[in-house]
Amino acid sequence: MKENVTSEKAPHPRRLPRGEKGFTHEKRRTFKQKGHPMPQGVERKGMLEAIKSAVQGITRGHGGPFGACLVRGRSVVAVDHNRVLQCSDATAHAEINVIRAACRKIRNFDLSGHALYTTTEPCPMCFAAIHWARIDRVIFGTRIADAARRGFNELAISSRMMKSKGCSAVRIKGGWMRRECEELFRAWDRLETKRVY
């Protein structure tokens, strides 16, 4: 089966997304050194890729309404969605699928310098994988509680709790593009053939 991985070349440095005029290479490097997030144009692109993949997963019946996208700099490294039902694999969450695809692609388990965008807050399993892969940042839309309300068998342990208890260096940004990510749950709610697991 063809691997569902999306990759693209980094845009020409002079072709900056809207709202990033004058955001030079030197400034981007300074942002990274100081631990600041990249501009919102890059963050929006990452989440939109995750949402797009989640929609594909919903319409094809692959699993729950969840998508993820791994980005390094301005380049999309991997995109995938939840495939629990398609693969009959309880661990086939969007974040896990993206991490596996990226590691195969670059032939390295170390994903330092990458940011992971996911439509819903990572479950404890996924956050642990993010930590082990040394991913710098995780940016999510809706929360674990939103999935639990739909009947998904979630553990009531947030990413921030995982970070705190585990002393993880992963940086977390929640609620990013929450409204757009909530639309995925609404589409799921309307789906007559959905299977909650």
CB 176 within 8 A of CB 47: yes
Catalytic residue at 192?
no
Contacts for 189 with CB less than 8 Å, ≥ 6 apart: 150
Pairing of strands 171-173, 137-142: parallel
Distance CA 5, CA 77 (A): 8
CB 85 within 8 A of CB 76: no
At 131, which amino acid appears?
H
Q: Which of the following is catalytic: 43, 49, 95, 121? A: 95
**Interior CA angle at 179 toward 43 and 96, to 5°?**
55
Residues annotated catalytic, as ranges: 95
